[in-house]
Amino acid sequence: MAFNKTKPVKNLNRFDFPFVILSLFFIALAGLFFLSAKDLRGANIYISLSFSFVSIIYVLTLFIKNDNKLLGGYFPLPISRSRPLTIFLLVLGGLSFFFFRIIFKIFSPSFNVASLSIPFTATSVGAGQTFSIAFLEQSLPIQLFITSYTASVIETLAYSIGGVLMGAVIGITIFNLLSKEEKSNKISLSKLWFVRLFALGFGTFAFIGSHFLNGTYEGGMYVFAGLFFLISTISMYMLGFYVAYHIGYHFVNNIFVVILVYGFKEVFIGSGWFGALLSVTIGLLFFYLIRNWNNVKADASTWFFETFERFVEFFGFN
């Protein structure tokens, strides 16, 4: 049976991360080790997140060695093997940030959508462990690198994949300990939804907990941040908006936060090497889309119809 590259990965033992995602991850990791060597305290937070994510994935491969239903039955990994689709979703995610910003500005002018998705890179000064404090005294290029190439990639992978899948493992373990169901090759409906709900709740509370590391939110804002993460995670796992889309969204989201502080010209021109790196990254992404438009169009069209079918099934319109 032919494998559809636009669909999520169901077997972790057969899985390789797309080159684009891996490249962004290692760029972020290399930058973190460089900053950690310069005694940038906050870099250690992201290094810990990175190794936690890698460890979680490794443990999962051991856990599902004889039971590949963990990902296939509960949470197919929200990553596509299609490079054209991965790059398309990166760009689409970045562009959609502006769409959501316009929508929120229309219905709630005082609401800042950017503030909901950055647990470790808040622009206001908070507690002593806040990542924002750790880089406030750094140069603008370093601030930009941390908030974009580092935060957008590592936070998305660590929380939306690592946190949720770890929650799935814990949920399966708890259900197996408490349940009297007989072992079967099929996943019961009760176990399926217990594991899904537990995993989503685990990832959401991990995300909310991270916001306590800074002083940006008070009271009900934690609830909004949790809802934001929950909705984005559901869209990732159940509606087809894969991890590349969310990395693209967070990348532009985090860059925009710094633009609000320093201005567009300062970010792209006054930031020196970062402005050049950002311009090259954007240029290469659009160059790839244009040069490989036929492949991009084919995979994106397939993804669009698959996503539409998921929407219909998820909301019960069928």
User: Per-residue confidence at 217, pLDDT binned at 50, 70, 90?
Assistant: low
Residue 90: predicted pLDDT: 93
Does 121 fall in a domain? Answer: yes
User: Per-residue confidence at 1, pLDDT binned at 50, 70, 90?
Assistant: very low
One-letter-per-residue 3-state SS of the chain: CCCCCCCCECCHHHCCCCHHHHHHHHHHHHHHHHHHHCCCCCHHHHHHHHHHHHHHHHHHHHHCCCCCHHHHHHCCECCCCCHHHHHHHHHHHHHHHHHHHHHHHHHCCCCCHHHHHCCCCCCCCCCCCCHHHHHCCCCHHHHHHHHHHHHHHHHHHHHHHHHHHHHHHHHHHHHHHHCCCCCCCCCCHHHHHHHHHHHHHHHHHHHHHHHCCCCCCCCCHHHHHHHHHHHHHHHHHCCCCCHHHHHHHHHHHHHHHHHHHHCHHHHHCCCCHHHHHHHHHHHHHHHHHHHCHHHHHHHHHHHHHHHHHHHHHHCCCC
- Is the pLDDT at 109 greater than 50? The verdict is yes
| pTM of the predicted protein model | 0.80
Does 80 fall in a domain? Answer: yes
Does 296 fall in a domain? Answer: yes
> Number of C-alpha atoms within 13 angstroms, CB side, residue 60?
31
The span from the CA of 126 to the CA of 129, in Å, is 8
- Is the pLDDT at 53 greater than 80? The verdict is no
Q: How many CB atoms lie within 10 A of CB 307?
A: 16
Mean pLDDT of 21-42: 77
User: Per-residue confidence at 295, pLDDT binned at 50, 70, 90?
Assistant: very high
Does 127 fall in a domain? Answer: yes
Does 108 fall in a domain? Answer: yes
Better-predicted residue by pLDDT, 22 or 40: 22
User: Per-residue confidence at 127, pLDDT binned at 50, 70, 90?
Assistant: very low
The count of structural domains within the chain is 1
Does 112 fall in a domain? Answer: yes
Residue 144: predicted pLDDT: 82
Domain span at residue 249 reads 12-314
Q: What are the phi and psi torsion angles at 265 (to 5°)?
A: -60, -40
Q: Tens digits of per-residue pLDDT, 54-106? A: 777 677 666 655 444 555 567 777 888 788 999 999 999 999 988 888 887 77
Residue 292: predicted pLDDT: 93
Tokens standing for residue 248: 């693209």
Does 3 fall in a domain? Answer: no
The span from the CA of 152 to the CA of 251, in Å, is 5
Mean pLDDT of 215-233: 74
Residue 92: predicted pLDDT: 95
One-letter-per-residue 3-state SS of 245-309: HHHHHHHHHHHHHHHHHHCHHHHHCCCCHHHHHHHHHHHHHHHHHHHCHHHHHHHHHHHHHHHHH
Q: What are the phi and psi torsion angles at 91 (to 5°)?
A: -70, -45
Does 267 fall in a domain? Answer: yes
State percent of the chain over pLDDT 70: 69
Residue 214: predicted pLDDT: 54
> Number of C-alpha atoms within 13 angstroms, CB side, residue 79?
21
Residue 71: predicted pLDDT: 53
Residue 42: predicted pLDDT: 62
Give how far Cα 180 sits from Cα of 1, 174, 191, Å: 36, 12, 11
Q: Tens digits of per-residue pLDDT, 144-201? A: 887 788 878 887 888 888 888 888 888 887 887 877 655 554 556 677 888 888 989 9
Residue 94: predicted pLDDT: 92
Q: Mean pLDDT score of the chain, rounded to an integer?
A: 75
Phi-psi region of 201 (alpha: psi -120 to 50; beta: other; left: phi over 0): alpha
